Amino acid sequence: MLKRIVNWLVLLPIAIISVVIAVANRASVTVSLDPFGRELSPLSFTAPLFAVVLLAMILGVVIGGFAVWWKQGRYRKRCRQAESELATARADAERLRQELGRGTAETSGGPLAFFNRPTA
């Protein structure tokens, strides 16, 4: 609950500031992707300033998210391997419990009979 409140306290002002900046910066700007051409080139476009800024922010979030996802791949792989090993260990433990249960029902003693003793 506290995390949700903190998120609202942080994200709401950022959203309000973004809207205010967008309304204040509606003028068109020319964005050129050609570093050598000073005139209008086929690699340039005209858009409102707020659209350029918001697009750059969105692109940065997407690229950053992809980079983090890529770097954490080894940890996801380790987690999958650990889950597989855990499932195998649980299956082995269940199989051994069934074997021990069946073995103690057939005989009253045995090498592991002391596990069934009541504790003092």
| Structural domain contains residue 101 | yes
Confidence of residue 21 (pLDDT cuts 50, 70, 90): confident
* SS3 state at 46: strand
Angle at which helices 73-106 and 49-71 cross, to 10°: 40
pLDDT of residue 6: 86
Say how many domains are in the chain.
2
Of 32-41, 43-52, 55-64, 101-110, least confident by mean pLDDT is 101-110
Residues 92 and 46 in one domain: no
pLDDT of residue 83: 95
Q: What's the farthest any 2 CA atoms get from each other in the chain?
A: 96
| Structural domain contains residue 113 | no
| Structural domain contains residue 62 | yes
Q: How far apart are CA 64 and CA 61, in angstroms?
A: 5
CA distances 8 to 49, 60, 62, 65, Å, are 27, 22, 21, 21
pLDDT at 89 over 60: yes
Residues 26 and 85 in one domain: no
pTM for the structure as a whole? 0.57
